[in-house]
Amino acid sequence: MSEITLVRWSPVRDILNIQDEMSRLFNAFFTRTSDRTEGRTLSWSPLVDISETDDKIKVTAEVPGMKKDDIKISIQDNVLTLKGEKKQEKEEKDKNSHRVERAYGAFERSFSLPASVQTDKVKASYKEGVLTISLPKPEEAKPKEIDISVS
């Protein structure tokens, strides 16, 4: 004959277990870093801001730790594409890493531009880990004010 062991139900314990699991899932979903001690490597892509004025479209991308030669910019069919690769420093043999959170590797991001641009006048600059791209609009894309005549 087998014995049945009764376990007292504790709603507080169950709620805490659910809360811990939800917190773990939420952090895993929204965390942009990788933890190589667990054998996982997540890809990365730079964060980008895109703004527009009457004269131009401005794209600003965070690419810390990269050299300008490791970043490529192209425009085709009104789509801006950023490509690059963030390279990891050389690993030292007698060094034990306790935590590795910085992400490395290749990225590619493409954006449909909200207006046509003068591709021959696009300028890009890179300073302190921030890439800024200025995309001037052609004259026909700029808003024009129309005078009202009085009759």
How many angstroms from the chain centroid is the CA of residue 41?
Answer: 16
The answer to whether the CB of 111 falls within 8 A of the CB of 136 is: no
Bridge partners of residue 132, in order along the sequence: 60, 125
pLDDT at 128: 92
Q: Which pTM does this prediction carry?
A: 0.64
Single-letter residue type at 136: P
The answer to whether the CB of 132 falls within 8 A of the CB of 125 is: yes
How many angstroms from the chain centroid is the CA of residue 95?
Answer: 30
What are the two backbone dihedrals, phi and then psi, of residue 19, each rounded to the nearest 5 degrees? Answer: -60, -45
Cα separations (Å) of 93 from 86, 90, 97? 21, 9, 10
pLDDT at 104: 82
CATH class of 43-89+102-141: mainly beta
Bridge partners of residue 13, in order along the sequence: none
pLDDT at 108: 93
SS3 category, 117: coil
d(CA 14, CA 16): 5
For the chain (151 residues), the mean pLDDT of every run of 10, in chain order, is 69 76 74 47 80 93 91 93 86 73 86 88 94 91 78 78
pLDDT at 37: 40
pLDDT at 35: 43
Domain residue spans of the chain: 10-40, 43-89+102-141
